[in-house]
Amino acid sequence: MGHFEPPRAVPGRQQSGRSAAMSSPPRVVAIVDDDPGVCASLRFLLETAGHAVETYESGARFLAEADRGRIGCLVLDQQMPQLTGLDLLARLRADGMETPTLLIVSTPSPAVSRRAVELGALGVLEKPLAQDDLLAQIESAIA
């Protein structure tokens, strides 16, 4: 009989959420928000619901560091310095990334909502976020 060896974690890569022993890598929910408190609370909520989560403090950091092939859903804050959520989404779409995306806003506006729809966002959610709505939309996006 052969010897079974369990899968090993990739060095330097921190995993969260679903088990690393799954046959395919988990679809990551990537949160891009410049507010560390929002990132921490969304990470807690989503990991508690069983999702793998990565957080990025800016659009530039996401562009530089994210493994885009693993991302199953994006949650982007609209109001970030340098690169807004819509700016980041437009750039990702121009690069061919069609990942399901939710945009979160502090103050909703028809112009932002219209542009988000034009760029293919699944929805625009207003802060404070309704946890059940957020989870339902993310579940739908990565199903």
CB atoms within 10 A of CB 12: 5
pTM (2 decimals)? 0.82
pLDDT digits (tens, 9 = 90+) for 1-11: 444 333 333 33
Q: What is the fold, at CATH topology level, of the domain defined by 28-142? A: Rossmann fold (3.40.50)
pLDDT digits (tens, 9 = 90+) for 48-65: 999 999 999 999 999 999
Handedness of CA 55, 128, 99, 138 (dihedral sign): positive
- Quick one: which of 80, 73, 87, 58 has its CA closest to 134? 73
